Structure 1
Amino acid sequence: MRKKDRGEAPTKEVMKPEEGEVICVVKKMLGAEHIVVLCVDGKQRVARIPGRMRKKVWIKEGDVVLAAPWDFQSEKCDIIHKYGNDEIKKLVEEKVISREVIDQLRG
């Protein structure tokens, strides 16, 4: 990014979990686009990184993601979105999720 481009970035709307979606923290990378996530609802699931995100969004352990659990296998889910640090701050400010929950899931 050039120095002159570093002005105030336009505020983008943060993706919030809708019905059938849950915020999760990445616990373990399994390989072959599969990861283990610990979700806010208390369940541990195996998540799949979809093809549209595979080489564009890099996910590592400790990242906060938005996932959609499968209807027919509730212990599996698909990753919808990876939250950046600024997006996590906005979620905490808007009281969508508390900082303690994220720290507890990461810990």
Structure 2
Amino acid sequence: MPKKDRSDQAPSRDVPKPQEGEVICVVKKMLGAEHIIVLCLDGKERTARIPGRMRKKTWIKEGDVVLAAPWDFQPNKADIIYRYMNDEIKRLAEEKVISREVIDQLRG
């Protein structure tokens, strides 16, 4: 029986891009109790909440790049939708959705 060729990479899935009402942010500080402070690309600092569906499955730490949805009735708060991995950040930079310099500036 021939061996399978493992050189093929896993199929690349689409990287979620910000839709209307969503913004890319960098985690600035962990507050505890599923709350974090994020610095968003629109220049605002928001208190964000990690929803229950992400709580135990996706670990978020300071410096991570996340996709957040600001609340309509309280624009200084948001919900975390997705956490970007390093290769996904590179892909967003290649597609000119975000600039790498802005992310480095926000992280540093």
Settle same-fold status: TM greater than 0.5.
yes
SS of 1:53's partner is helix
Equivalent pairs: percent with the same residue? 78
The aligned residue for residue 10 of structure 2 is 9
> Which has more radius of gyration?
2
SS of 2:54's partner is coil
The unaligned stretches of length 5 or more in structure 1 are: none
RMSD over aligned Cα atoms: 1.1
Deviation at residue 9 of structure 1 after TM alignment: 1.1
Assess, with a 3 A threshold, how the Cα gap between structure 1 residues 103 and 9 changes in structure 2: closer, same or farther: same
Deviation at residue 65 of structure 1 after TM alignment: 0.1
Deviation at residue 11 of structure 1 after TM alignment: 1.2
The aligned residue for residue 89 of structure 2 is 88
* Cα distance between partner residues in 1 of 2:81 and 2:94: 22
* Cα distance between partner residues in 2 of 1:63 and 1:6: 29
Deviation at residue 7 of structure 1 after TM alignment: 3.5
Normalising by structure 2, we get a TM-score of 0.93
Deviation at residue 14 of structure 1 after TM alignment: 0.5
* Cα distance between partner residues in 2 of 1:48 and 1:11: 28
SS of 2:9's partner is coil
Matches within 5 A, 1:8-87: 8-87=9-88
Q: What is the number of equivalent residue pairs in this alignment?
A: 104
SS of 1:18's partner is coil
SS of 1:61's partner is coil
Normalising by structure 1, we get a TM-score of 0.94
Runs of 4 or more consecutive aligned structure 1 residues displaced over 6 Å after TM superposition = none
* Cα distance between partner residues in 2 of 1:49 and 1:21: 15
Deviation at residue 5 of structure 1 after TM alignment: 5.7
